[in-house]
Amino acid sequence: MNVISFLIYIAVIFIIAYSLPLFEIWMGIPQDLIEVVGKIIRALLVVFVVFGLMKFSEWWMTSHFKLSEDEKRYFMGVVRYLGTALALLLIGFMYIGDASSLTLFSGLIGAGLALSLQPTMLNIVGWVSIVASRLYRIGDRVYIGDNVWGTLGDVSDINLFFTRINELDRASWQETGGFVSVPNKLVLDKGVVNYTAESPFMWDEMSFNIAYGSDYQLAKKLAEDAVKKVVGEKMKDAAKFLSLRKYKLKIRDIKEEPVAYVSMKSGAIRVAVRYLVAARKKRQTEAQITENLLKDLRKNKDRIKIVG
C-alpha cells in the first residue's frame, strides 16, 4: 500500500465516521446501532493510523540508519509489539467506559507488552554491556558460552541485538564457513573468552603419553626441541611483548622458552609442553610441531614407547 492509497483510505473512514449522525436523521436508523457502527469505524480508523505509523517508522529507520537483516527483523518486531499495544489501548478507551475497567485493561496490556519485549530489551542491555566494557570488538577472536554449548570464532559484526561470528571449529580452530548470530543477551549470563583483546598471543599445549619405563627425560627434551624449532624466536618476541603489558594483563610469570611437564596417568606417563603462539596461527603451529616431534620420536623408538 502506497502513501496516496493509505491517505485515501483514512479520508474515507473519517468521512464515514463523521457522517453517521446524518444517516440517523435521513434514514431513521436507531441511535444504538449508529453508536455500535461508529465504534467499529473508529476502531478501524485506529488500526489504519497505527499501521501507517508502523510503516512510516520502518521507512524512516531503514532510510536514516544502516541496519543489518537481523536488526531490521528485530526492529520491526518491536514496532509491531508497540503498535499492537497502542491500538488495543486506544480501542479500549472507546469500548470500556469506567475508569477502573480501563485501568485494569491498560495494566493487562502493559504486562503482556513487558513480557513479550523482555528478550529484546535483554539483547539491548547486552549490547550496552559489550560496547561499554569493550568485552569484544569487531575482529576479535572469542568464545561465547560454556562447556556444554558455545561458539568460537571471529567477530564480524556487533549490532543492537546480535553479534555475528565467523564460526571456527572448536577442535581444529579452523573456519567452518558458517556464520553464527549470537543474541547479545548471552553475555549477561554466559562466559566470554577473548583471545585477542589485549594481545595477539595465547598459551597452547601439546601432550602425548609414553609407557612406563620409557626415557621420560628424553621425551621432555624432544618435546621442547620440537617446539623451539617452530616458535623459538617468535616465543621470545611474544614474551617481550607481554612483558611490556604485564601489569595491565596481570600476568605474573612470562617464560621466553617452551616448558615441558610430566605427570602420572593411569597406565602411562603424560608429557606436555606449553608455549606461546599467535592465536590465529594455533592450528598451523601445532601441525608443524607435531611433524617435528614425530620424526624425533621415531628416531628414538627404542627408548620411548608411545601409548594411547
- pLDDT score, position 99: 47
Neighbours of 7 (CB within 10 A): 11
- pLDDT score, position 154: 93
If DSSP codes are grouped into helix, strand and coil, which group holds residue 269? strand
If DSSP codes are grouped into helix, strand and coil, which group holds residue 203? strand
Distance CA(297)–CA(194), nearest Å, equals 35
**H-helix or E-strand spanning residue 255:** none
The pLDDT tens digits along the chain (308 residues) read 455 665 565 666 566 555 555 555 555 555 565 566 666 767 777 777 777 777 777 777 777 766 666 566 666 766 776 777 777 777 766 666 544 555 555 555 555 555 555 677 788 888 888 888 888 988 899 999 887 788 999 999 888 788 999 999 888 888 888 889 898 988 988 889 998 887 888 889 999 999 999 999 999 999 999 999 999 888 888 888 877 765 455 566 677 888 899 998 888 999 999 998 988 889 999 999 999 999 999 999 999 999 87
- pLDDT score, position 197: 81
Distance CA(40)–CA(45), nearest Å, equals 9
Q: Are 306 and 209 in contact, with CB atoms under 8 Å apart?
A: yes
Distance CA(57)–CA(63), nearest Å, equals 10
- pLDDT score, position 146: 82
- pLDDT score, position 143: 94
Which residues on neighbouring strands pair with residue 200, listed in sequence order?
none
